[in-house]
Amino acid sequence: MRNRILDLGENESVWLRDVVCVLDADTATVSAVTRDFLKKAKEKGQIREPKGPVKMVNSLVLTNAFGKDRLYQSSYTVSRIEKNARDPFPGMKKNA
């Protein structure tokens, strides 16, 4: 199951196995520790902004692939990303 591609929207996807955590963008900046982490990630160039026009960033997806951290900004909500992780192709019939 973990060897799947996870859709983050805006033509962006990551390997599910590389996902460390998914944060709600609204509440992520409440904690001073998280704000400091985000500041350092920006300084290091680890934040990946959406490829297309986005009205609002709803979630932050932290990945670690090949020893490199990257933080993706997504317009998808945390619950939508969780749903995509559980069922990447909704509506498709599963083989019996």
Q: Which domain holds residue 22?
A: 5-86
Torsion over CA: 70, 73, 78, 80 (sign): negative
Domain-embedded: residue 82? yes
Q: What is the pLDDT of residue 41?
A: 95
Domain-embedded: residue 11? yes
Q: CA triplet 55, 40, 76: central angle to 5 degrees?
A: 25
Question: How would you write the pLDDT of the chain (96 residues) with one tens digit per residue?
Answer: 557 899 998 889 999 999 999 999 999 989 999 999 999 999 999 999 887 777 889 999 999 999 999 999 999 999 999 999 988 666 665 654
Q: What is the pLDDT of residue 96?
A: 46
In angstroms, the Cα distances linking 48 to 52, 59, 87 are: 12, 12, 24
Q: What is the pLDDT of residue 55?
A: 80
Q: Distance between terminal CA atoms of the chain?
A: 17
Domain-embedded: residue 92? no
3-state secondary structure of 28: helix
- The domain tally of the chain equals 1
CB atoms closer than 10 angstroms to residue 63: 22
Domain-embedded: residue 58? yes
β-strands 47-48, 19-24: how paired?
A: unpaired
Structure tokens at 43: 């300084």
Domain-embedded: residue 91? no
